[in-house]
Amino acid sequence: MSHYDLAKPGSEELVIACVQMEPHIGAKRANVARLIRHVETAAGNGASLVVLPELATTGYVFADRDEAFSLAEGLPDGETSQLFAETAQRLGVHIVTGIAERAGKRLYNSALFTGPSGHIGIYRKLHLWNNENRFFEPGDRGVPVFGTPLGRIAIAICYDGWFPETYRLAAMQGADIVCVPTNWVPMPSQPDDRSAMAATLTMAAAHSNGMAIACANRIGTERGQLFIGQSLIVGGDGWPLAGPASIDREEVLYATIDVKRTRAARTLNAFNHVLRDRRADVYDPMLGARWPSFQT
């Protein structure tokens, strides 16, 4: 199935869970075990889609490219991928997790998407943040939208959310939900009494595209880098359904998404629809994007 094959959702409502936790650099086996326990908890609470943080299996602050390469694995055939596939099948859930991907000699900051029937797809982060440029290649698979029994699902990772084009390309391919594994860090000049800039950007993107967005962030300090938590789930109207979560506590956020209502949020009134009103006579409807179709 290519990313252009968009399945109709099998039900109108689903429960999304976003896992906020603290991975530890290099402790891949322990990280994965904890992630799976969180997925089990989420599934036990009725979640059918679980989102885990960016690079959740390995930790984030690599000392150098060699360390990143040693912790990465091929997708979807690596050991960690198989563990998530077994978990998804056993629990009957869909899982999106951040993971370091090795493809030959190339490294990608990726997200693995798996479900009860097996592997669904891979997303490679398009916009690299800070020292990620030392370790990873920029994503080369565009913004795929995966047709699933839950609805049309896209993925973005962390800094991708600073670019409206990421979400717009997902919306123009019919995405209902965007899952965002992330490792948000403090932004310069962030007022102490305001939530993260990422929360504002997420709410704006959800509203202007009529899509639900589910962001799972990490917490803790790793090799001197602070991570700010505040995971959240936003509805298609742009308002939070769950979160922002705490800045320093492991927790799981839950929200019920009505896919039909999410699509309806694109209609603002009798005259205005956030996607239909685009001036495609002025600018390219797909923002000039060109990428090859690929099999999921």
Q: What percent of the chain has pLDDT over 90?
A: 88
What pLDDT, on the 0 to 100 scale, is given for residue 291?
66
CATH number for the domain harbouring residue 221:
3.60.110.10
What pLDDT, on the 0 to 100 scale, is given for residue 293?
52
The pTM assigned to this predicted structure is: 0.93
Could you tell me which of 170, 155, 166, 228 has the C-alpha nearest to residue 201? 166
Which residue among the candidates 125, 132, 179, 215 is catalytic per the annotation? 125
Q: Is residue 238 part of a domain?
A: yes
What pLDDT, on the 0 to 100 scale, is given for residue 194?
83
Q: What is the mean pLDDT of residues 119-132?
A: 97
Local confidence band at 292 (pLDDT 50, 70, 90 cut-offs): low
Q: How many structural domains compose the chain? A: 1
Q: Is 8 a catalytic residue?
A: no
Q: What is the mean pLDDT of residues 267-291?
A: 88
Q: Is residue 285 part of a domain?
A: no
Q: Which residues of 282-292 are buried (b: 16+ CB within 10 A; e: fewer)?
A: eeeeeeeeeee
Q: Is residue 269 part of a domain?
A: no
Q: Can you tell me the distance from the alpha carbon of 63 to that of 292, in angstroms, rounded to the nearest whole number?
A: 33
Is the bond preceding residue 188 a cis peptide, omega within 30 degrees?
A: no
What pLDDT, on the 0 to 100 scale, is given for residue 265?
94
Local confidence band at 177 (pLDDT 50, 70, 90 cut-offs): very high
Q: Is 250 a catalytic residue?
A: no
82 Cβ partners below 8 Å, 6+ apart? none
Q: Above 70 in pLDDT, residue 279?
A: yes
Q: Is residue 296 part of a domain?
A: no
Q: What is the mean pLDDT of residues 19-37?
A: 97
Per-residue pLDDT tens digits for 68-118: 999 999 999 999 999 999 999 999 999 999 999 999 999 999 999 999 999
Q: Is residue 239 part of a domain?
A: yes
What pLDDT, on the 0 to 100 scale, is given for residue 224?
96
- Of 6-15, 60-69, 88-97, 183-192, least confident by mean pLDDT is 6-15
Q: Is residue 179 part of a domain?
A: yes
What pLDDT, on the 0 to 100 scale, is given for residue 9?
42
97 or 290: whose pLDDT is higher? 97
Q: Above 60 in pLDDT, residue 61?
A: yes
Per-residue pLDDT tens digits for 78-88: 999 999 999 99
Q: Is residue 8 part of a domain?
A: no
Q: Is 54 a catalytic residue?
A: yes
Range of the domain at 236: 14-264
What pLDDT, on the 0 to 100 scale, is given for residue 286?
84
Q: Above 90 in pLDDT, residue 290?
A: no
Q: Is residue 7 part of a domain?
A: no
Local confidence band at 296 (pLDDT 50, 70, 90 cut-offs): very low
Q: What is the mean pLDDT of the chain?
A: 93
Which residue among the candidates 18, 22, 132, 158 is catalytic per the annotation? 158
Which residue among the candidates 54, 73, 101, 132 is catalytic per the annotation? 54
Q: Which residues of 132-156 are buried (b: 16+ CB within 10 A; e: fewer)?
A: beebbbebebbbbbbbbebbbbbbb
Per-residue pLDDT tens digits for 202-225: 999 999 999 999 999 999 999 999
